[in-house]
Amino acid sequence: MSAATTALAALAEAAVAGFGRTFGRPPTSLWSAPGRVNLIGEHTDYNDGFVLPFAIDRHTVMAAAPRGDRRIRVASVFADGPADVVEAAIDDIAPATVDGWSAYPLGVIWAAGRLGADLAAAAGLDLYLVSDIPIGAGLSSSAAIEAVVAIAIDELWGLGFDRSTLARIGRLAENEAVGAPTGIMDQSAVLLGETDSAVLLDCRSLVTQVVPLGLADEQLTIVVTDTRVSHAHATGGYAARRASCEKGAAILGVPSLRDLTVDDLARASAELDDETFRRVRHVVTENDRVLATVERLRDAGPGAIGELLDASHSSMRDDFEISVPELDLAVEVARRVGAVGSRMTGGGFGGASIALIRRSLVEPLRQAQEQAFAASGHRAPEVFEVVPSAGAGRLALPGALPGSLPGEETAR
């Protein structure tokens, strides 16, 4: 068994055991959704642009069983201590009635109804969630909760949505129930990811394309450095960046920044204040970098995309101003150790960086990050490899099928 399969099997066991402890009966189904890393294309999704994320081998796993009373009980151990259990009647779930972490799973049920699901005949559910995706690290722990609930209710309640609609349901929950004005990237990545591949998503048409990464063929891997500087997108800088982009598009007379090319930047610089111009320049050049990355992956392989990753980081640091000293340090250290390319990933203001690097340099990179963070007086980072993995799916219940491995995926 690979390390990733072992970790998923352990989560499956923990979800089943936690479900039994909390609800006093065994679960009848088991579901998983991964976290994601964005290879490139940051803050482009809500500007109708392009993103290139991939699902990773870190997961949220959910055990479930139906109830006869149209109530949802959802439990998790996201905080330390005993499982936190939240209960609500299906008909009462609405953005105004949910808060805290349960806004993610319950928000999805509300959002499914908003996007056309007929919930009148939906059975109640007991749900129990466990996860090994670090929270607040920019690896989409929240989208994983949304996706795992979305695929489960879609199948258990026979809703018949496709994956791209399930992604929209997750985003609606995040926007309205959680109150974070995020785009569609994270939910799409965790629902549509494929092994050894990234997903190119056109955030205007929602058309997706699977882009093979071919990392193993070139002895390359992706290493995440979680700075453990925690971010939250429901408040602060994320919303401010989104507002700047909308302001830039309005002044320049386009529906969204997707409608601008680098040739429009001279006009943009004449018409916009300096700060708005730099926000716009980031988005316009980042869209170009995503498409260039896809082209280079196809024509020359992952060894050829380093300068695009590096340029993306500089643009986020200098133009979009969403990096923090810990992220800049992690990127600098990765380059010093010999990474092909490195950049912060996710919404910014904390979270994680990625480095595309030769496998033989993973341990030297970990040591260099730990030393550099200690020398700068920063909290110790978490440094780990991620493997581009399959998206959300149903798991076999441990022991359910003779001869099957616990945690083995049985359906998509």
Catalytic residues: 186
Per-residue binder mask for ligand GLA (CB under 6 A), 119-158, x = binder: ----------------------------------------
CB-based contacts of 212, cutoff 8 Å, min separation 6: 196, 197, 297
CB 88 within 8 A of CB 105: no
Least distance to ligand GLA, CB of residue 41, Å: 7
Q: How far apart are CA 256 and CA 349, in angstroms?
A: 24
In this complex, which beta carbon is closest to ligand GLA, that of residue 52 or of residue 125? 52
Selected from 18, 49, 170, 183, the binder of ligand GLA by CB under 6 A is: 183
Distance of CA 99 to the CA centre of its chain: 21
Q: How far apart are CA 262 and CA 265, in angstroms?
A: 5
Residue 320 interacts with ligand GLA (CB under 6 A): yes or no: no
Least distance to ligand GLA, CB of residue 281, Å: 16
Q: How many residues bind ligand GLA (CB under 6 A)?
A: 12
Residue 186 interacts with ligand GLA (CB under 6 A): yes or no: yes
**75: its two tokens:** 């439990």
Q: Which amino acid is at 8?
A: L
In this complex, which beta carbon is closest to ligand GLA, that of residue 185 or of residue 329? 185
Query: Which of 47, 58, 290 is CA-nearest to residue 184?
Result: 47
Residue 185 interacts with ligand GLA (CB under 6 A): yes or no: yes
In this complex, which beta carbon is closest to ligand GLA, that of residue 183 or of residue 350? 183
Contacting ligand GLA within 200-259 (CB under 6 A): 233
CA-to-CA dists, residue 285 to 184, 262, 325, angstroms? 20, 7, 23
CB 164 within 8 A of CB 140: no
Instruction: Candidates 41-49, 99-107, 190-198, 370-378: pick the segment binding ligand GLA (CB under 6 A).
Output: 41-49
Selected from 9, 39, 42, 104, the binder of ligand GLA by CB under 6 A is: 42
Selected from 34, 43, 289, 395, the binder of ligand GLA by CB under 6 A is: 43
Query: Which of 25, 99, 18 is CA-nearest to residue 61?
Result: 18
Residue 45 interacts with ligand GLA (CB under 6 A): yes or no: yes
Q: How far apart are CA 135 and CA 99, in angstroms?
A: 17
Least distance to ligand GLA, CB of residue 231, Å: 9
Instruction: Candidates 43-51, 153-161, 368-376, 395-403: pick the segment binding ligand GLA (CB under 6 A).
Output: 43-51
Angle, in degrees to the nearest 10, between helices 103-114 and 163-172:
120
The burial of 98, by beta-carbon neighbours within 10 Å (0-12 exposed, 13-18 middle, 19 or more buried), is given as: buried
- Cβ-proximal residue to ligand GLA, closest one: 347
In this complex, which beta carbon is closest to ligand GLA, that of residue 174 or of residue 385? 174
| % helix, strand, coil for the chain, step of 5 | 45, 20, 30
In this complex, which beta carbon is closest to ligand GLA, that of residue 186 or of residue 319? 186
Residue 46 interacts with ligand GLA (CB under 6 A): yes or no: yes
Residue 63 interacts with ligand GLA (CB under 6 A): yes or no: no
Least distance to ligand GLA, CB of residue 256, Å: 13
The burial of 202, by beta-carbon neighbours within 10 Å (0-12 exposed, 13-18 middle, 19 or more buried), is given as: middle
Instruction: Candidates 35-43, 58-66, 100-108, 336-344: pick the segment binding ligand GLA (CB under 6 A).
Output: 35-43
Selected from 346, 350, 406, 407, the binder of ligand GLA by CB under 6 A is: 346
Query: Which of 379, 58, 383, 56 is CA-nearest to residue 228?
Result: 379
Tell me which residues touch ligand GLA (CB under 6 A). 38, 42-43, 45-46, 182-183, 185-186, 233, 346-347
